[in-house]
Amino acid sequence: MRRSAPSDTVNYRMYRFLLKPKWLAFHLLCLLAIVMMVMLGLWQLRRLDERKSFNDRVSAHTHAPIAPIKDLLALPEPDAEYRRAEATGTYEPGHEFVVVNVTQDGLVGRDVVNALRLDDGTLVIVNRGFVSNRVAAPSAPTGTVTVTGRLKHSQGAGLGEPSDVGSATLTEIRRVDLGALSQQFDSPVAPMYLELLSSEPAEPDTVQVIKFPGLDNGPHLGYAIQWVIFTICVGVGWVFAVRRHINEQPGRPPKQRRGPPPIADEFL
């Protein structure tokens, strides 16, 4: 009587193709893709946590009481950013800047920026607000001015973006870069600047307050879910590729398609 081959031997022969070089390369490629996408998903979750922490901090700072700017500038910058500060001084004559290529509420325009000299001689850069390109940018108020604004840290150029050259005379600027603007003055410039909320005397109606940044959580959770889906797709694709190769091996009987169920005799 003929003895059948052990099942473990049959399984080994069926799956030994998985150890071929091209299949090993395929396994490695799938594994690397899965590891990379898992890391990207975790990175998006970390970005989400950072965004939530930032939103909580900004919300707490914006609801804090208004304080003199000198008191807030004495704090570490992360503790002072987005705090509402009050400052009194006079705008420095002969130095006015416009941040070009700015949009707000669907309008294209620029932000008008001046330096406010405090009683101790320190200069505080003030972004007075947004002005549409349809109207002329108004000059800064003269005489003693009391302003209230949000403290912001200096803006820097992103990757591949050009920076303003502070050693040259600036009138049009790309952003509120305190490093570049401080080179335009002989007096020290405060390490943070103000986004104007109110002024006494008031600014003209053509100057709009800079919009408060949105405090949503961003797309990070959606991106993390996408990376999870992509990871599952790679795993499922690997399984289908292996099963398809097994089914196509020579000598393996093709799957029989089931025909329609037999008709009962009573219906004949």
Pick the closest to residue 197 from 206, 214, 213, 209 (CA basis): 209
pLDDT, tens digit, 9 for 90 and up, residues 225-239: 999 999 999 999 999
Residues 133 and 173 in one domain: yes
72 pLDDT band, cuts 50/70/90, is very high
Mark whether 75 and 180 lie in a shared domain. Answer: yes
Q: Looking at residue 91, what is its pLDDT?
A: 96
Residues 58 and 81 in one domain: no
Determine which of 85-94, 173-182, 241-250 has the lowest per-residue pLDDT on average.
Answer: 241-250
Structural domain span for residue 53: 11-63+216-246
Residues 15 and 131 in one domain: no
Structural domain includes residue 261: no
- pLDDT for 267 equals 46
**Residue 73: pLDDT band with limits 50, 70, 90:** very high
The CATH number for 68's domain is: 2.40.50
Overall pTM surpassing 0.75 (yes/no): no
Residues 85 and 106 in one domain: yes
- pLDDT of 257: 54
49/120 same-domain check: no
Whether 268 shows a pLDDT value over 50: the answer reads no
**Is position 101 within any domain?**
yes
Mean pLDDT across 172-184: 94
Measured CA to CA, the distance from residue 203 to residue 188 in angstroms comes to 26
Task: Indicate whether 89 and 102 sit together in one domain.
Answer: yes
Q: Count of CB atoms within 10 A of residue 68's CB?
A: 12
Distances (CA, A) of 153 to 128, 188, 194, 224: 16, 16, 9, 30
Q: Are 92 and 193 members of one domain?
A: yes
Q: Is 94 helix (H, G, I), strand (E, B) or coil?
A: strand
Look at the block and give the residue holding tokens 């799938």. 30
| 98 inside domain | yes
Per-residue pLDDT reduced to its tens digit, 247-263: 877 655 555 555 566 65
Same domain, 75 and 181: yes
Pick the more confident residue, 189 or 258.
189
In terms of domains, do 71 and 144 share one?
Answer: yes
The pLDDT tens digits for 123-141 are 999 999 999 999 998 999 9
Q: Is 68 domain-assigned?
A: yes
Q: What angle do CA 43, 49, 55 make, to 5 degrees?
A: 135
Q: How many domains does the structure of the chain reveal?
A: 2
Q: How far apart are CA 42 and CA 177, in angstroms?
A: 33
